[in-house]
Amino acid sequence: LFSCKNNEGDVTLEDIEVNESDTAREINNDNGVIYSDSIIKNLQGKWKETEYPFREAHFENTKVKFIEEGVAEETVFREYTISKDCPFEVNNIKNAGGDDIFLVIAETSTCEIINVSGDTLTLAGFNVSSNSDYHIIYKKLE
């Protein structure tokens, strides 16, 4: 290492302690934050399910509300995060891949695999009743 400044008070490599695992973790965390922010930005607005048009998802900042016909309780916005891991013990995630990203709703302790591509949002997981994978596809409304 060298500097264009004068040599008074220069720091040598012997004076600096570098922990490589901490540095790598910080870089990975920074990349995760940038990636998460990008997904959250792309989610903003209203989405309608393609196969069942009476189901919608509304994303406002870091809150989401799922609206479905025939539900007795009024739906409310809930805080969500985007994560590389599901922090809860859930039965709807089987064989998640290393590249999968999760929509995590802490209030309900739920996770779903999420993919946003252009005007298409896909939420995926495993249905324990039918013992099969599911993919719910939404198209952006606004």
Longest dimension (CA), the chain: 75
% of residues, the chain, pLDDT over 90: 63
**Cα four-point dihedral sign 58, 61, 62, 63:** negative
Query: What single-letter amino acid sits at 89?
Result: E
3-class SS at 61? coil
Decide if pLDDT at 19 tops 60.
no
Predicted local confidence at residue 96, as pLDDT: 87
What would the pLDDT profile of 47-92 be if each residue is shown by its tens digit? 999 999 899 999 999 999 999 988 888 899 999 999 999 999 999 9
Residue 40 to residue 7: CA distance in whole angstroms:
47
Within 10 angstroms of residue 63's Cβ, the number of other Cβ atoms is: 13
